[in-house]
Amino acid sequence: MLEDKSIYPDLREGRRVVRPGGKREAKPLNFPARRPWLTLGLAGAAGVFGALVGVAVLLFLMEWLKPGFLGEGCFLYAALADLDRAPAILLNGFLAYIASFVPVPPILLGILSALIVIGVLIGVFLSLFALTSVVERKVLARIQNRYGPNRVGPCGLLQPVADGVKMLVKEDIVPAGADRVVHFFAPVVMLVPALLVLAILPYGPGLVPMELSVGILFFFAMGATTEVAVFMAGWGSTNKYSLLGAMRAIAQMISYELPLIVSAVAVVMLAGSLSPEKIVETQAGYWAGIVPAWFVFTPWGFAGFLLFFIAAQAESNRSPFDLPEGESELVAGHLTEYSGFKYATFFIAEYVGLFAISGLAVTLFLGGWYAPSPLLAFIPGYIWFFVKLYSLVLLAIWIRGTVPRVRIDQLMEFAWKFLIPMSFVVVVAAAVWHYSGGGFLGWVVCTPLLLVPYLLFGSAFAKKFAPSGRVYRYSQG
């Protein structure tokens, strides 16, 4: 977990400022603080109004550019009629529209399409990152009985802008003894795979930026390359804390990759495909018309989801597994010697990695774009996908606010002696579930199959790490 470096403005909150001239207290800034929801509502309404005006202007321009275009078969109508696939229809319609009056070779059209998709993906995830950076601080502040950032913009919502400006104008320091090339390329190598994995997530029906038959494998392969980036950052800085932090981070990533992959293997086994879209499609439908047929609502899927989520926290260096950057021991781990924009790049890569791995969890276990109830199926799939993704992110923030950091030996033993054996048990349980045909028999057989090993491994693990009675050498005589 990255350290919240701009925490200091919060400390000023609530202090009354006495002007030097007189005794009159300055009025506290009450516009955003007293009625935050009114402000937010007004801002939202303004945003919706602006979007409507924008669409109207666009329609007018199109009509003006090509008379008679906005006819019955216009793609804008088609997009409104099929909200689920609206982004794809809009994109294809826009490209066809361009091709209809500019003769563009198909390969250029393909590149243009790719660039638009890349731009949209990066835009969506960077704004999600900006939102999360302030939401995380506010939620953590509420958990710790503080206010959190509330000075910049309404409810502090413009804090990311201030942070971004701060990061950009900071001095970029490279240590004198550093390996300059490796030090420079580490953030780049960190960010690229984090952005690449966004391409295989299925955001909705037909909304997969890159249809890859081995998408899940692609995700894990790209995740593995971030280890090289961490090594580059740690070694290139020529700093003991950086090197130790990088060694810890790599050992942790290798150890937690195993339960991550093995619990995903259980899903791949039952879905019979490595393609994320196919995996989501196998989770369509509802049991008894009420419970969605997601994998998380099966005994093995529930256990697999928990394992996957825990391992994902460790993979993305989130608390309670954030000891590569544990400030009490290692300053900031492999990030110690980074400042300014390079530090911001690591920050972005870490959060985008968290979104991507939450998106994969949604794809594998939480039914991807499907609505949790048939009554809610009218809401487009991509909205469901992002709602689920963001609830996982909020869960991660909640965990960060409540669970203390683990020790390095506990971290390793937890991975090798609990998570990995349990994930193999989950694979076996998935096979048993498949051959018992699911349903009631599956529940009866799978539940003990999962519970007994859980209790065995868990009690052995808890016995070893249970806090023993503390001895105070000097105060107890």
Residue 401 phi/psi, 5-degree rounding, is: -75, -15
Q: Are 236 and 178 in contact (CB under 8 A)?
A: yes
Quickly list DSSP for 102-113.
S---HHHHHHHH
Q: How far apart are CA 42 and CA 160, in angstroms?
A: 20
CB of 30 to another protein, least distance (A): 47
Name the residue nearer to another protein (CB basis): 9 or 421.
421
Name the residue nearer to another protein (CB basis): 212 or 306.
212
- Selected from 50, 110, 123, 285, the binder of another protein by CB under 8 A is 110
**Size, binding site for another protein by CB under 8 A:** 40
| Residues between 170 and 189 that touch another protein (CB under 8 A) | 179, 182
Work out whether 392 is an interface residue with another protein (CB under 8 A): no
CB of 321 to another protein, least distance (A): 18
Name the residue nearer to another protein (CB basis): 107 or 375.
107
Work out whether 231 is an interface residue with another protein (CB under 8 A): yes
CB of 271 to another protein, least distance (A): 12
CB of 413 to another protein, least distance (A): 15
Quickly list DSSP for 72-132.
TT-HHHHHHH-GGGHHHHHHHHHHHHHHHHS---HHHHHHHHHHHHHHHHHHHHHHHHHHH
Name the residue nearer to another protein (CB basis): 130 or 271.
271
| Residue 77 amino acid letter | Y
| Residues between 250 and 309 that touch another protein (CB under 8 A) | 250, 254, 257, 272, 274
Q: Single out the residue of 176, 172, 171, 181 nearest to residue 236, CA to CA.
A: 181
- Selected from 33, 74, 99, 224, the binder of another protein by CB under 8 A is 224
CA 16 from centroid of its chain's CA atoms: 38
- Selected from 247, 284, 412, 432, the binder of another protein by CB under 8 A is 247
CB of 289 to another protein, least distance (A): 31
Name the residue nearer to another protein (CB basis): 118 or 174.
118
Q: How far is CA 464 from CA 306, 358, 409, 413, 422, in A?
A: 22, 31, 11, 10, 18
Q: Is the preceding peptide bond at 320 cis, omega within 30 degrees of 0? A: yes
CB of 84 to another protein, least distance (A): 13
Q: Which stretch binds another protein (CB under 8 A): 17-25, 46-54, 111-119, 372-380?
A: 111-119
Name the residue nearer to another protein (CB basis): 36 or 209.
209
Q: Are 200 and 210 in contact (CB under 8 A)?
A: yes
CB of 247 to another protein, least distance (A): 7
Work out whether 155 is an interface residue with another protein (CB under 8 A): no
Work out whether 386 is an interface residue with another protein (CB under 8 A): no
Name the residue nearer to another protein (CB basis): 250 or 371.
250
Q: Which stretch binds another protein (CB under 8 A): 28-36, 125-133, 243-251, 356-364?
A: 243-251
Work out whether 117 is an interface residue with another protein (CB under 8 A): yes
| Residues listed for the chain | 477
CA 146 from centroid of its chain's CA atoms: 25
H-helix or E-strand containing 286? strand 286-287
The binding track of 192-221 with respect to another protein, each residue x by CB under 8 A or -, is: --------------xxxxxxxxx--xx-xx
291 by DSSP, 3-state: which? strand
Quickly list DSSP for 202-268.
--STT--SS--TTHHHHHHHHHHHHHHHHHHHHHHTT-HHHHHHHHHHHHHHHHHHHHHHHHHHHHH
Contacting residues for 341 by C-beta, under 8 A, at least 6 apart: 167, 168, 170, 172
Q: Which residues bind another protein (CB under 8 A)?
A: 87-88, 91-92, 107, 110, 113-114, 117, 179, 182, 206-214, 217-218, 220-225, 227-228, 231-232, 235, 243, 247, 250, 254, 257, 272, 274
